Structure formats: C-alpha cells, structure tokens
Chain A
Amino acid sequence: QKEVEQDPGPLSVPEGAIVSLNCTYSNSAFQYFMWYRQYSRKGPELLMYTYSSGNKEDGRFTAQVDKSSKYISLFIRDSQPSDSATYLCAMSEVDSSYKLIFGSGTRLLVRP
C-alpha cells in the first residue's frame, strides 16, 4: 500500500469553478505537508506549505490538513486556465524532513 494516495484525475472544470484536490496518507508521523504545482515539461514548484494541522490561505488557494482523518486538501477558488497543471501533494516526518513522500499527482484542466 502506498503511503500517500492521490486521485490521478484528470479533473476538468470550467473557468471560475472551485476546485478541490485531495490526498490521503497512512503514516501518522507526517507533520509537514506541501502542495507542489507542475506545469507540463517543467519541474514542480512549491505552492502551499502547512505545518501539522490547520488551514492556510494564500490568495485563491487554501490548504487544509486534517490529521485525525489523515487527509489533506487544496482548494482553488475562481479557477483560471493558467491553473491547468498537475498538483502533487507531498509530506514528511519531523525526523526525516529531507525525505518528501509525494503523491502521484492530480492533473487539472480549467476550460475557458
């Protein structure tokens, strides 16, 4: 069983929609949670970071961590065609924070 599960999509939504991307995980020791965005033929780039539980908001993006359910989410409000990319969740333990465990990514397409 994978440590991190992520729905591969693709997820296709109209411009302006609210998008919800999710990951589940099995390792209760994970404390650092990230979302990376990867455009086609590019390397991933950090979008959001959350330490332990809670919510974090940055513009149109909100990251949520529910450690009791081992579930993290990324919400995108007012989605734009430029948001079309693959979104990767990643997480790590405190004692081995160099070792990020990535989900397989969800491909998002925002239609104009």
Chain B
Amino acid sequence: EADIYQTPRYLVIGTGKKITLECSQTMGHDKMYWYQQDPGMELHLIHYSYGVNSTEKGDLSSESTVSRIRTEHFPLTLESARPSHTSQYLCASSEIWASGTNTGELFFGEGSRLTVL
C-alpha cells in the first residue's frame, strides 16, 4: 500500500479564500506531482518536482503554486480561490521516471476534492 497522504479529502470554500492542499509521502521519493482530475476527464499535470527546492509547471495552466522545502512534503496553494478551481486534485510521487524496464510507477494519494462557491 502506498504511503502518500493528502489533506483535506474534501473542502468547500468561498470565493477569494486562500487554501493549501497538503501532500506528504513517507517513501523517500524525490519526484512528486500534482494532477487535476475532473469527472470523466483526463488527469492533467499541473506541477511537478525533481527534488527539494525544485518545482516546475506542468502542461495545464494553473493559478496554483507549490513548494518543496522537504523531500516528503509538497503542498499546493491557491491564493484566491474561484469557482473555476473546483476540481479534484491528486498528489503523486515516484522513485524514478519510466526508462526501459523501469516502470516509473506513480503512487497516488486519495485526492482532495475542492469546491469553491
């Protein structure tokens, strides 16, 4: 069983509020990711990290920001939430990236479902 945890699991918040979605993993993985998933839609990569103090934006434009001060922790922050931010946010980690026989398996958390009113 994967040891990656997300909090909160569910959050309902008003427009304009600042929110932080927490993600922690105990596997010592260098690589961490945030995906956005809407019902019936693809997972879209919004942020990823190679390791401590490295963060990159993914393909899907996002107004969120991330930080990676510790290996095990990769929080995502929205400074001013809007209804368009309503979605499920999935955090994941991996030991390596896919390469030949190495699967680059992503271990996902259970997700944080955000609703912005």
| Given known A-B contacts A43-B110, A45-B2, A46-B103, A99 and B59 have beta carbons under 8 A apart | yes
Contact segment of A13-21, A67-75, A77-85, A101-109? A101-109
On whether A98 and B31 interact (CB within 8 A), knowing A34-B103, A43-B111, A104-B40, the answer reads yes
Bound-state Cα–Cα, A44 to B103, Å: 15
A45 to chain B: closest CB distance in Å? Answer: 7
Complex interface: chain A residues within 8 A of B108 (CB): 43-45
Structural contact, B104 and A32, CB atoms closer than 8 A: yes
Q: List, in ascending order, chain A residues with CB within 8 A of B31's CB.
A: 98
Does A60 lie at the interface of the complex (its beta carbon under 8 Å from any beta carbon of B)? no
Bound complex: CA A43 to CA B113 (Å): 12
B:77-117 near A, CB below 8 Å: 90, 92, 97-101, 103-111
From residue A53, how far is it (CB to closest CB) to chain B in Å? Answer: 14
Chain A's interface size range is 20 to 34
* Stretch of B13-21, B41-49, B62-70 with 4 or more beta carbons under 8 angstroms from chain A: B41-49
Contacts A32-B104, A43-B90, A43-B108; A97 near B97 (Cβ below 8 A): yes
A residues near B98, Cβ cutoff 8 Å: 32, 34, 49, 51, 92, 97
A-B contact pairs, 17 of them (CB 8 A): A2-B42, A43-B92, A43-B109, A43-B110, A44-B108, A45-B108, A46-B103, A51-B100, A51-B101, A88-B43, A92-B98, A97-B97, A102-B42, A103-B42, A104-B40, A105-B40, A105-B42
**Leading 10 A-B pairs by shortest Cβ distance:** A43-B108, A49-B103, A32-B98, A97-B98, A97-B97, A102-B43, A46-B105, A102-B42, A104-B42, A98-B97
